[in-house]
Amino acid sequence: MPQPSPLSRRAMMIGASAVAAWVSAPARALLAQGPAVPNSHNARIEDLIARMSVEEKAGQVTIMAAAWAGGAANALNPSSGAKSSFRDQLAEVRRGRLGGVFNGNGAEMARQMQTIAVRQSRLKIPLLFAADIIHGFRTIFPMPLAEAGSFDPDLAERTARVAAVEASSAGIDWTFAPMVDIARDARWGRGIEGAGEDVLLGRLMADARVRGFQGRSGLDASDAVAACAKHFAAYGAGEGGLDYNSVDVSERTLREIYFPPFEAALDAGAASVMASFNELSGIPATANPWLLTDVLRREWKFNGLVVSDYTADFELIDHGFAADEREATRLAFLAGVDMSMQSGFYLRHLPGLVKDGEVPMARLDEAVRRVLSLKARLGLFDDPFRRIDPAREKERVRTPDHLALARDAARRSIVLLKNKGDLLPLPRSGKRIALIGPFVQGQRELIGPWNVYGTDADAVDLLTGVRAAVSDPSLVTAVDGTGIETPIAGGIDAAVAAARAADIVILAVGESQKMSGEAQSRTDITIPPAQMALAEAVAKTGKPIVVLLRHGRALALHGAIKQAPAILATWFLGSMSGPATADILFGLTNPSARLPVSFPHESGQAPYYYAHKNTGRPNPPGPLKEYKAHYREAPNAALYPFGHGLTYGKISYGGLDLGSGKLTGDGELKATATIRNTGRYEAVEVVQLYVRDIAASLTRPVRELKAFQRIALKPGETKQVSFILKREDLSFLGNDFRPIAEPGAFQLWIAPSAEAEGVSGTFRLT
Ligand code: BGC
């Protein structure tokens, strides 16, 4: 049987037809074949390569953190311990010993460096300016995990576009984003940068973010930035949720779970890929030829640039994989890492390795060609200053449009977890409101981790947002009550007094910005004890409490927080955090987000995710659990599962229609449900379609998300929602890793979350 090409295989893996339009266009798949470099540039690139010294080539494949102009910061090189000043770096640029710099200081710095590169270096090759633009540049959008909860790839594309417009006006050509790592372990702090636990949502968000960053008019547009799908691969699967930790997962798990968002990013045309820090079953990703060459280059035909993570080649020594710097360089470079970030190893060791015949010149030329091709695609050979414009840098950031989008994105990322007795939305007048907790006032804990260019001072806090939303701001009081991890003397007394004097308490508790993000793993995903003490004391007043969670991950909720009648997940929402939260609290906008990660009952359930296997002894509903897959202390289920999120409407699911109940050959199965809003408020419902393959030649998850639709329902409105399933939507990777769809029975749910029943039925694939 002829092997399907990797591209058609990718197309087959795209998922339910209802959403396939986002990712499956063959034109996009073609982009992954390799970057289109204008012909005129090919000759120029080859000419440059022919004229470059081996040292200049090693310089091209080296990128360093920028030392900031004016000497404000020196760039430290952790592998050598050396610090370089801006002057040192200019000298390196002049000598052709740098291909680019990252996380620099704006257009003026870029202008000075680029001027030296294109006027004073021997070959006049422009520099690449890279940066971590993760969720906004100066306008900060919700952290990517929160935004994934919008279940709205179009929104993710639009926020990435604005981030690119702002960043590119400050001289940035290339973002180290999107992070497309599937993250199923809430202990890992870097889940905030991705799209959560689900493969379909991960693919759609990867696709959207790449398209947003790179724009739709070509990478040479002055407002396009090249995207970088990171971290390849399985960085989110570190043992114990510990950042940088070893990963030991099967090839099947890689191909089914961790690879698909990378494939989607490449299909969308991502110009680069970053190798991850972790090892994979004994071989660090940074020196893994199977991963970086066999899979990425040969199978997926990716011809863009592969960059290391920060000093990851240096780290091969601590991994116990390379004996010394020179060996680390050789292993990373020959495995497929084209460009080395921050260690300086390539610059130091590639010339000697080539001279001694340990690295072929052809491999060095190939890597240089990829760097130069990216520069050409970005239009830098035509105009090296196309993104460097100090005037535009001031005008194009934090515009009213961008801030309006930040507010809208924040609103669409807030998840209503619970709303007992319809406590929400709150009335805008006539009630005394006490805002209590360490997150109610001040600008410090709003924008979230991974912000290189956003500033706290530009973010709007909850108190400001609430005061602007109510008719009489004098009825709103604010008390911290406690610090995030340390009590404040007299804080609880003050908070209790404020609660007693109010009609409604809004209690904002959770994690600090420092508690998630890189290197911020937790063993315990709960709210710190100082805040729990505050919550218990405030709850004893008997006042109605609305809990606002601040968090970079799924949390395990306990005590007064869990028992509160209303709970909203408000993550880190960025620049417009306070006004957006107020919009939801007072019903100016109805909540429409859904959880992109499951909230377990307890930390010890980690990694908890909905698409787990059934086991031979599944956990039965009801009390008789002896010798079944259950925990002594907690249910083997989520408190709030993936996909969960309420509206202010009252939504019911009914009337499942599966037509003939059969999907035959190349035909289709149409699954329809009736969704009704019997409540008093308008609602946006995210209608989710899950499938389970009942018996297959390889065990399948208890449920897999295949498609979703966001629908708006007016009070009293009923809508029929239909999904079309095709054979390929039911396929999985067989023993030979080729997609197969096996005949037999499938269960299907159209439901409001991954663990809700919604409406369900069975059908057969024949
Ligand atoms: C992170 C990358 C990031 C790089 C440069 C590393 O520590 O893992 O995601 O792009 O630093 O800032």
- State pLDDT tens for residues 739-751: 999 999 999 999 9
CA–CA dist 732, 661 (Å, integer): 21
pLDDT at 3: 34
Residue 6 clears pLDDT 80, i.e. is over it: no
- 598-640 pLDDT, tens digit per residue, is 999 999 999 999 999 999 999 877 777 788 999 989 999 999 9
pLDDT confidence of residue 37: 79
Atom of ligand 1 nearest to the CA of 177: 10
Residue 712 scores a pLDDT above 80: yes
> What is each CA distance from 398 to 12, 171, 173, 190, 469, in whole angstroms?
41, 16, 19, 26, 22
Question: How far, in Å, from the CA of 309 to the mean position of ligand 1?
Answer: 6
- pLDDT tens sequence across 225-269: 999 999 999 999 999 999 999 999 999 999 999 999 999 999 999
Q: Is 26 exposed, middle or buried (0-12, 13-18, 19+ CB in 10 A)?
A: exposed
DSSP 515: G
Cα–Cα dist 237/252, whole Å? 14
What average pLDDT does range 568-579 have in this prediction? 98
pLDDT at residue 726, as a whole number:
97
> What pairs with residue 549 in β-bridges?
509, 569
Mutation pick for ligand 1 pocket among 176, 213, 245, 341 (CB with most ligand atoms within 8 Å): 176
What is the distance in A from the centroid of ligand 1 to the CA of 350? 23
Give the residue whose CA is nearest to atom 8 of ligand 1: 309
Neighbour tally for 68: CB within 10 Å: 18
Rounded alpha-carbon distances, angstroms, from residue 681 to 46, 416, 591, 653: 64, 14, 11, 17
Find the 516 Cα to ligand 1 centroid distance in Å.
Answer: 15
Ligand 1 atom nearest to 179, measured from its CA:
9
CA distance 274 to 171: 21
Could you report the per-residue pLDDT of 326-363, keeping only the tens digit for each? 999 999 999 999 999 999 999 999 999 999 999 999 99
Residue 72 in this model has a pLDDT that exceeds 80? no
Span 79-83, mean pLDDT? 85
Are the beta carbons of 642 and 754 closer than 8 angstroms?
yes
pLDDT at 164: 98
Cα of 310 to ligand 1 centre, how many Å? 6
Q: Which atom of ligand 1 is nearest to the CA of 228?
A: 10
Quick one: pLDDT at residue 81? 85
Whole-number pLDDT of residue 70? 57
CA distances from 220 to 206, 368, 380 (A): 21, 19, 8
Give the single-character DSSP code of 142: P
Query: Residue 73: what pLDDT?
Result: 62
Between CA 144 and CA 157 the distance in angstroms is 11
Q: Whose CA is nearest to atom 4 of ligand 1?
A: 310
Distances (CA, A) of 509 to 180, 296, 466: 28, 43, 16
Q: How many angstroms separate the alpha carbon of residue 604 from the centre of ligand 1?
A: 28
Residues with CB under 6 A from ligand 1: 103, 132, 176, 230, 309-310, 518
3-state SS class at 232: strand
Measured CA to CA, the distance from residue 727 to residue 741 in angstroms comes to 7
Percentage, residues of the chain above pLDDT 90? 90
Residue 553 CA to residue 119 CA, distance in Å, equals 47
- Does pLDDT of 4 surpass 50? no
What one-letter code names the amino acid at 491? G
Least confident interval from 86-90, 401-405, 431-435, 750-754 = 86-90
Pocket test for ligand 1, best of 128, 309, 340 (most atoms within 8 A of CB): 309
Give the model's pLDDT for residue 82. 85
pLDDT at 9: 31
Asked if 406 and 141 count as a contact pair (C-beta separation under 8 A), the reply is yes
For the CA of 452, the closest atom of ligand 1 is 12
Ligand 1 atom nearest to 176, measured from its CA: 10
Ligand 1 pocket, mutate which of 310, 313, 315 (most atoms under 8 A from CB) = 310
Residue 241 dihedral angles phi and psi, to the nearest 5°: 70, 15
Question: Torsion angle, CA of 104/106/107/109, rounded to 10 degrees?
Answer: -50
| Residue 707: pLDDT over 80 | yes
Rounded CA separation 149/352 (Å):
50
Of 87, 114, 103, 98, which is closest to residue 63 (Cα–Cα)? 98
How would DSSP label each residue in 699-748? ---S-EEEEEEEEEE-TT-EEEEEEEEEGGGG-EE-TTSSEE---EEEEE
Give 315 Cα–ligand 1 centroid separation in angstroms.
Answer: 14
Give me the mean pLDDT over the 6-10 stretch: 32
642 neighbors 196 (Cβ within 8 angstroms) = yes
| Ligand 1 site-directed mutation target among 313, 516, 518, 521, most atoms within 8 Å of CB | 518
Q: Ligand 1: which atom is nearest the Cα of residue 231? A: 9
- Residue 54 CA to ligand 1 center (angstroms) comes to 27
- Give the separation between CA 80 and CA 92, rounded to whole angstroms: 16
Among 685, 567, 749, residue whose Cα is nearest residue 151: 685
Peptide bond into 234 cis (omega under 30): no
What integer best gives the mean pLDDT of the chain? 94
What residue's CA is closest to ligand 1, atom 10?
Answer: 176
- 730: its two tokens: 């039911």
Question: pLDDT tens, 26-45?
Answer: 333 334 444 567 778 999 99
Q: From the alpha carbon of 342, which atom of ligand 1 is closest?
A: 5
Per-residue pLDDT, 83:
86
- What does DSSP say about strands 228-232 and 272-275: parallel, antiparallel, or unpaired? parallel
Cα(554)–Cα(278) distance, rounded to whole angstroms? 23
User: What would the 3-class secondary structure string for 573-608 be?
Assistant: CCCCHHHHHHHHHCCCCCCCCCCCCCEECCHHHCCC
Q: How far apart are CA 121 and CA 127, in angstroms?
A: 11
CA-proximal residue: ligand 1, atom 5 (nearest): 310
pLDDT tens-digit profile of 260-284?
999 999 999 999 999 999 999 999 9
Q: What's the pLDDT at 88?
A: 92
- Specify the residue with its C-alpha closest to ligand 1, atom 11: 310
Confidence tier at 156 by pLDDT (50, 70, 90): very high
In the structure, what pLDDT confidence band is assigned to residue 71 with cuts at 50, 70 and 90?
A: low
pLDDT recorded at residue 277: 98
Please compute the mean of the pLDDT values over residues 420-445 and round it to a whole number.
98
Instruction: Give the largest CA-CA distance in the chain.
Output: 81
Which tokens hold the place of 342?
């921050």
Dist. CA 177 → ligand 1 center (Å): 10
Distance from Cα 176 to the centre of ligand 1, integer Å = 7
Per the annotation, the verdict on 309 as an active-site residue is yes
- How far is residue 48 from each of residues 41, 57, 206, measured CA to CA in Å? 10, 10, 34
**Nearest residue by C-alpha to atom 12 in ligand 1:** 132
Nearest CA to ligand 1 atom 6: 310
In this prediction, residues 752-763 reach a mean pLDDT of 98
Residue 571, SS3 per DSSP: coil
Q: What is the mean pLDDT of residues 418-437?
A: 98
Listing DSSP states for 236-276 in one string gives GG-GGG-TT--B---HHHIIIIISHHHHHHHHTT--EEEE-
Identified catalytic residue from 152, 309, 461, 729? 309
Alpha carbon separation from 229 to 13, 22, 233 (Å, rounded): 19, 17, 10
Prior bond to 351 cis, omega within 30?
Answer: no
Angle subtended by helix axes 199-214 and 153-169, to nearest 10:
30
Nearest to 401 by CA among 687, 139, 648, 185: 139
Residue with the smallest CA separation from ligand 1 atom 2 is 309
